[in-house]
Chains A and B, each alone.
Chain A
């Protein structure tokens, strides 16, 4: 291999979003030579899209908040499928991770007494989200980016080389994790700019690659979200957990095509916006499920009164949990009562004075004005569900982020599974990145210390094989275009494994995925290796197809409805299924799915809940520790 650039590091972090950067900072501060690899430029990661805030029970706005309350909210949000240990660590450590950001220069909005302000959000009992207007994710990324720069400045002073112990490899894609026997030995990839191959000798690799949204047609996710880390873990012998759970946000833009999928914040409904179908009817009143019947308004008059008098009225059904609203919109559109561009109407114009709208929803006003030519103070928005987040991911040890089944592999952030169970609460993503990013950096460092100086070696044949696989798309017979296959994949997942799932449709999807896999093998790209987007897509496509198979297979197997997994043929939640995690593994070119018992919560955490509530989720056998009908 003459055309190969080679580096040696202690830790290689794949992904430069919140989790990856936090992991790299930790590994470097533990004294490990660390490389950060990202597909985009440094500082462009998808984390910048997060708006609402970082959930952490600092109790700055309501002193009754505590990690126990945050833990409880998180478990409820995930419908008790969360790995309890992850939810516990997350709730306990989030405040320290937020305060730490301030010492690195983050500037959050403040309370009147000068502390970090916290806002209310769906599913959180108290105001809990640290925020900077509606650009919290950007603040997070920029702060971590600048912390990395400051560490590099330290190294410049100490060693005369800013990259002595921490280097960012931007616009670089990893295609394979390389191992010696059972242990990670490094990673192989290519520079996007030149197409040149690059290999990293490193005993520890941390996956922080984010999600998989680009397998769906309508998504709020960027092009980078092609499930690379999920696929790398599978191919390295790791396993994925909870892949059937995908969060569809109910309100994404549906028109114009250029912005289809972009989020329309939940605050629009919180501030008084209502959902209407083509007939002008507020349809959400027809979609209140029985379990919520007594908690939501029964008519429009009561719902309208709630905004000014929440103590004596029930909230309008537009404010049901995200999964309920997404399903309702989906049903209206399928019944032919949708808006001209296949969504429903979100009307705030007829509800609030124009001046109030501009003041309370400035970014939404700007977004629709700039991108859709719609004045939301005068006309209704068109909105529909959009693929937003994957709860599933690499199965990890909660305390260290170590991937189950692969020594030396770690994962943190959206690519890791278990923390959010079947549904993630808003605001719990950014805190997840920080808490488990740090823990993965620490876990990788401790793993290295345990190696006693021995480092697994990359085999030359493995590099040759990885290189041959990477250039394969240039040698095809010209019969398939990567863009076409990608478009068909997105349609398949969107239409057949989307918000509402049916057994037959998922069977169809699996057949279609087999066909697309065959066609992907024949994908041919034109041009040369220098910054060639067709080639990049061809390689990402393999990851998307593998991960999509996991989603479809797990979704077909789980015969219940829970959080981000809704089965039309199994509409109810099942206490038996709650005790089961579905685990996906690579099986040759295929994917296997097995059932695995969910670890049960220790008594002291179980006792944070009312027995009556747990009865809705758990079997009697699981609740023997709690006295009947007691807390």
Chain B
């Protein structure tokens, strides 16, 4: 069953290193870490690699295999073709100490910046009472083995050293989420996630979730609920901008009053209740503050598109609405973007495009109240 595999392994440091080629024996059932150990025992006794439990439980042997962040101990050799060259390199997001070992102190620094669990001061040890259903959400995040693969793959810091000071990364977003969802934690954590840890830099590409060896739903269960709590506002439900996001989190505690204020004002303008000039400075002020806490674009694009339109910046409005379409996943959000686009096209006197946009808006959300601006004949009255 054994064969000789071709391995390319990074030897050296960031400044002074190279990929070395090795031919090395592989036996049936082995994982990449076994092969690395064989290299140490036979050809490269000083090959540096971190490892510990060799059972996927400690998160020490993180590296990149053929460019993909993985645990060496959980990557079986039979997932490769026998003729394939297996390339093993250190985590790219962190400075290389030597060979496959990187300096991951960034993560320990960030860990120290998250305020610790803070129970009610008068609650004594032994008196804690929590329901299973209430602890399960935080328990999912406490499965984290701190392999830091999510940190490694996150594009915000992977090739952007400059973002590290202001961005804690997925591992610490789930730590903050874990504490935020802890039934007995008393600290307010949502806004700090955005303001102090850079949650806003995340644009939900889900790369972190994909590489998590523990299968933690980092994006869906931690990042998105935190983002929506930060941005979540008492938007008129009729406009539904954040309806789906909000529906996903039953425990919404925080409202972003600024985003709420901007959207309400713009909708009043759209409805003809007030004119844009009279609310312009309020809208701008509200949006500036909302952007300080919201994510990069994904939820604010609809707001910005409408603002551009009411301010008469038609091209920008169209661009934002289209950007919004490329990000927003809910039917209601898509519908809202199409309504804004319809208004842009209408103002540009492009009837065919307008009608198409209105049809799209209606297809996604037939009851979108903003469609009333276009009346029964699909044209604005």
Contact = CB atoms under 8 A, between A and B. Distances in A.
Looking at chain B's contact residues, is the secondary structure mostly helix, strand, loop, or mixed?
loop
B116 A153 contact: yes
Contacts of A104: 117
Contacts of A112: 132
Contacts of B274: none
Interface in A153-196: 153, 156, 162, 193
Contact of A107 (B40, B58, B138): B138
A110 interface: yes
B57 A258 contact: no
Contact of A534 (B33, B34, B46, B97): B46
A142 B128 contact: no
B352 interface: no
Contacts of B46: 525-528, 532-535
B174 to A, nearest CB: 12
A344 B116 CA distance: 48
Interface string A480-495: 0111100000000000
A149 B126 CA distance: 23
A96 interface: yes
A113 B73 CA distance: 40
A99 B78 CA distance: 46
A616 to B, nearest CB: 37
Q: Which of B49, B73, B123, B132 has the most CB of A within 10 A?
A: B132
Contact of B30 (A42, A139, A256, A525): A256
A41 B50 contact: yes
Interface stretch (A367-375, A439-447, A618-626): A367-375
A467 interface: no
B355 interface: no
Contacts of A528: 46
Given A139-B142, A142-B142, A525-B45, A41 B116 contact: no
A531 B30 contact: no
A257 interface: yes
Interface stretch (B104-112, B150-158, B290-298): B104-112
Given A42-B108, A48-B145, A114 B30 contact: no
A153 B46 CA distance: 38
A105 interface: yes
Interface in B44-103: 45-60, 73-74, 76, 78, 97-99, 101
B140 to A, nearest CB: 10
A135 B145 CA distance: 10
B151 to A, nearest CB: 14
B51 A531 contact: no
Interface residues of B, number: 59
A477 B28 CA distance: 36
Contacts of B58: 40, 44, 48-49, 222
A107 B133 CA distance: 12
A43 B60 CA distance: 10
Contacts of B59: 44
Contact of A44 (B52, B138, B143, B182): B52
A596 interface: no
Interface residues of A, number: 68
A607 interface: no
Contacts of A90: none
Contacts of A42: 108
Interface string B26-41: 0111110110000011
A223 B52 contact: yes
A224 B52 contact: yes
Contacts of B131: 110, 114
Interface string B128-141: 11111001001100
Contacts of A149: 111-112, 116
Contacts of A96: 125-126
Contacts of B108: 42
A105 B28 contact: no
Interface string A599-626: 0000000000000000000000000000
A524 to B, nearest CB: 10
A525 B52 CA distance: 21
Nearest to B77: A258
A43 B146 CA distance: 8
9 contacts: A105-B179, A138-B57, A146-B116, A149-B111, A258-B54, A483-B45, A525-B45, A527-B46, A532-B48
- Top 5 A-B residue pairs of the complex, sorted by shortest distance between their CB atoms: A256-B29, A527-B46, A105-B117, A150-B116, A114-B129
Interface of A: 40-44, 46, 48-49, 95-96, 99-100, 102-105, 107-110, 112-115, 117, 132-133, 135, 138-139, 142, 146-147, 149-150, 152-153, 156, 162, 193, 222-224, 255-259, 262, 367, 370-373, 481-484, 525-528, 530-535
Given A44-B146, A107-B142, 11 more contacts: A44-B60, A105-B179, A107-B182, A222-B53, A222-B58, A223-B52, A370-B74, A371-B76, A483-B41, A528-B46, A530-B48
